[in-house]
Structure 1
Amino acid sequence: MSDIDLRHLRSFLVVAEKRSITGAGAALHLTQQAVSTHVRQLERALGADLLVRTSRGVLLTAAGEELAAGGAAVVDDVDRLAARVRAVAGALTGTLRLACCPAATTLFAVDVAEALEASVPGLRVELKGVRSPRQERELLRDGRADAAFMWLPIGDAGLHTAVVRTDPRAVALSARHPLADRPALTLADLTDDPVVRPDVLASTEAERFWLGEPRPDGRPAPRGAVVPTVEDCLLDVGRGRGVWFAPRPLETLLPAGNVRWTEVTDGEPFDLAVVWNDHAPQPLVTRLIAEVRGLVGGDGRRDAA
């Protein structure tokens, strides 16, 4: 038995309702021959006679009665499914507002926006630049942004996250630091170095993570200065006032001649994530995550809801 063609089934159902091929053709705006052809092809597909033609119209066989009883539900199910698919496709239009902190996303934010707009006709991606993760979280929480790119943790259970890339932890040292020429370091090597940090992080949990706490010996990290921006961190590091932990890719975005970047082999890596709120259009967020992972090479194995 071959597959049933929905056009043929629809024609048969109208014939069954009208008890007339001519009447079905008028209702369907088809010729009588076209309707007859649909019914014959449906009979061949099912391997059963469905109609008996008479001078006054048609009668249904037992097989025809069975198909008429169940066929309408099949057509209705397909119609409802098509409507749901169209509704989901319709949700992939409009505007997606993305909050972006340049230090985390300069390398790919524009490419992601353009890729999304190219793959989803009618979509407009609006990039909203901010200066800090704290501002990103504020935009998400008050509804001025649908999603953002943020380094985890963010310390907010009310938001959802999906990891798009995991990067090794690095430390920025003054070029004059005794360990500046080492190819790699451990947290124990940096036990006595004060850690400077920018006043931009979104939570106490995030601050402790960026400090590299707890240390292997259980002690807290020595606190250095709190400075306004990540650029100020590098200025303090360059002057020998402390060290700064950050994801390794920031070495490319924040170069400095008097600073050396070195990987910290036992430091917990940094997860970059797409973060979104409950009101974000989920189909678009799903496409966003896929596009970012494709561009930056993330595998998402550390995802959290």
Structure 2
Amino acid sequence: MLSCVAQHACSACSFMDVGLRSLRYFLTVAEEENISRAAERLHIAQPALSRRMSDLESQMGISLFVRTGRSIRLTFAGQHFLTQARDLISRLDRIFESVRELDGQQSKELRVGYVPSMSSRILPEVLKEMRRACPWIRVTLFDLDTSSMVKGLADGDLGAALLVRIPGTPLRGIDYHEITRHSPCVVMSTGHPLSARDELDVAEITGFPIVVFCRKGYPEHHRWLEGIFGRPNQMKIQTECDSVASMLAMVESGEGVAVVQEGFESLSPGLVVARPIRNAVAHRFSFGIACRSRESSPELQELVRLVIASAGKSGSFGSVS
């Protein structure tokens, strides 16, 4: 049995010694069924081609041809080998071509603005699929507010942006692809007095301290809140936060409630709860991906496609209607 294993290993090693050029020569000989014609087509001497085919048979340990006078035909094993060799050469050609294309592609940077609270569910999957689809693209992320992202797109500093669009916000010169729409809700600690209610009026919220994002970094958040509450002085702002993490920490500790988008509570399961705001349909906002108008690079189109597809799978905190 050991001798059989050794013989099989030897055969495998011999097969690995078969060169790609020998396989291409074999295909030509099989197609021409004549060594002279094949040698002429390959621009090599007939004796050299004959030796190459004999060496191929010796390396494989099988007869590939039946020689009858000046013509040759394939044995049964030769016919099977022809099918496999054609498939192998075809696959190798495709591999070589794709590598050449990739080598010709210089590494590019795609700068993408994003809002963490809305993008956290979809970005990991999008980035993974983007690396797979466009390995020559290096995606660089920038945590920015909506106004900074819009300016970055207009100035060409950003290629795309995952942003929040407040109703009435103009996006001139920008193509916007809506992914979801979100209704406002109130997020609070699990033991907060308002957590006993199923739904809240705006007037009920004004009696409690509110945690908001800082105006300088998130002006669109304040415009949205002012639309909900009517006047800024109706809000008892307890603290301004510079990030989602700091807002969650303040809410979890009971320092105040936060008026944010539905689904925000899933960022801190078990520690905070959310309650919808009654009659707040007019204050729903949109989340989507934006890029400059007439910007149609294949890489950017792929990013837009992946974002929309990933948001559809994850639910992304909302719904489109």
**Residue in structure 2 matched with residue 185 of structure 1 by the alignment:** 200
1:92-111 Cα shifts (integer Å, max 9, x gaps): x9553322333221211131
Task: Give 1:287 deviation, angstroms.
Answer: 3.8
Task: State whether residues 183 and 262 of structure 2, in contact with CA within 8 Å, keep that contact through their aligned partners in structure 1.
Answer: yes
Matching residue's letter, 1:197: V
Task: Give 1:253 deviation, angstroms.
Answer: 2.4
Task: Give 1:283 deviation, angstroms.
Answer: 5.1
**Residue in structure 1 matched with residue 303 of structure 2 by the alignment:** 288
Q: How many residues are treated as equivalent by the alignment?
A: 207
Residue correspondence of structure 1 range 191-210 to structure 2 within 5 A = 191-199=206-214, 204-209=219-224
Distance 2:108 2:249 in 1: 42
SS at 1:207's partner residue? helix
Distance 2:279 2:140 in 1: 35
Task: Give 1:163 deviation, angstroms.
Answer: 1.0
The question of 1:234 aligning with 2:248 is answered yes
**Residue in structure 2 matched with residue 264 of structure 1 by the alignment:** 277
Distance 1:214 1:254 in 2: 24
Task: State whether residues 176 and 290 of structure 2, in contact with CA within 8 Å, keep that contact through their aligned partners in structure 1.
Answer: yes
Distance 1:205 1:95 in 2: 28
The question of 1:127 aligning with 2:140 is answered yes
**Residue in structure 2 matched with residue 164 of structure 1 by the alignment:** 179
Task: State whether residues 199 and 228 of structure 1, in contact with CA within 8 Å, keep that contact through their aligned partners in structure 2.
Answer: yes
Of 144, 149, 160 in structure 1, the residue corresponding to residue 162 of structure 2 is 149
Task: State whether residues 95 and 124 of structure 1, in contact with CA within 8 Å, keep that contact through their aligned partners in structure 2.
Answer: yes
SS at 2:193's partner residue? coil
Distance 2:156 2:125 in 1: 24
**Residue in structure 2 matched with residue 273 of structure 1 by the alignment:** 288
Distance 2:183 2:311 in 1: 14
Task: Give 1:137 deviation, angstroms.
Answer: 4.5
Identity across matched positions, percent: 21
Which ranges of structure 2 fall in alignment gaps of 5 or more residues? 1-103
**Residue in structure 2 matched with residue 55 of structure 1 by the alignment:** none
Distance 1:105 1:231 in 2: 14
Distance 2:150 2:188 in 1: 29
1:25-44 Cα shifts (integer Å, max 9, x gaps): xxxxxxxxxxxxxxxxxxxx
- Alpha-carbon distance change, 223 to 137 in structure 1, aligned in 2, over 3 angstroms: farther
SS at 1:213's partner residue? helix
Distance 1:138 1:183 in 2: 40
- Alpha-carbon distance change, 192 to 285 in structure 1, aligned in 2, over 3 angstroms: farther
Of 118, 130, 135 in structure 2, the residue corresponding to residue 104 of structure 1 is 118
1:38-68 Cα shifts (integer Å, max 9, x gaps): xxxxxxxxxxxxxxxxxxxxxxxxxxxxxxx
Task: Give 1:274 deviation, angstroms.
Answer: 0.6
Task: Give 1:264 deviation, angstroms.
Answer: 2.6
Task: Give 1:207 deviation, angstroms.
Answer: 1.6
**Residue in structure 1 matched with residue 129 of structure 2 by the alignment:** 115
Matching residue's letter, 2:164: W
Task: Give 1:124 deviation, angstroms.
Answer: 1.6
- Alpha-carbon distance change, 189 to 273 in structure 1, aligned in 2, over 3 angstroms: same
SS at 1:145's partner residue? coil
1:206-248 Cα shifts (integer Å, max 9, x gaps): 4221x26244xx5554140323223222333344443211122
Distance 2:178 2:117 in 1: 17
CA RMSD of aligned residues (A): 3.7
- Alpha-carbon distance change, 205 to 286 in structure 1, aligned in 2, over 3 angstroms: same
The question of 1:222 aligning with 2:230 is answered no
- Alpha-carbon distance change, 144 to 252 in structure 1, aligned in 2, over 3 angstroms: same
Task: State whether residues 132 and 200 of structure 1, in contact with CA within 8 Å, keep that contact through their aligned partners in structure 2.
Answer: no
Task: Give 1:166 deviation, angstroms.
Answer: 1.9
SS at 2:279's partner residue? coil
**Residue in structure 2 matched with residue 244 of structure 1 by the alignment:** 258
Task: State whether residues 171 and 263 of structure 1, in contact with CA within 8 Å, keep that contact through their aligned partners in structure 2.
Answer: yes
Task: Give 1:198 deviation, angstroms.
Answer: 1.2
Task: Give 1:171 deviation, angstroms.
Answer: 1.3
Task: Give 1:126 deviation, angstroms.
Answer: 0.4
SS at 1:184's partner residue? coil
Which ranges of structure 1 fall in alignment gaps of 5 or more residues? 1-89
Distance 1:201 1:101 in 2: 15
Q: Which has the higher helix share?
A: 2
Residue correspondence of structure 1 range 69-108 to structure 2 within 5 A = 95-108=109-122
- Alpha-carbon distance change, 283 to 153 in structure 1, aligned in 2, over 3 angstroms: farther
Distance 1:275 1:189 in 2: 36
Matching residue's letter, 2:205: L
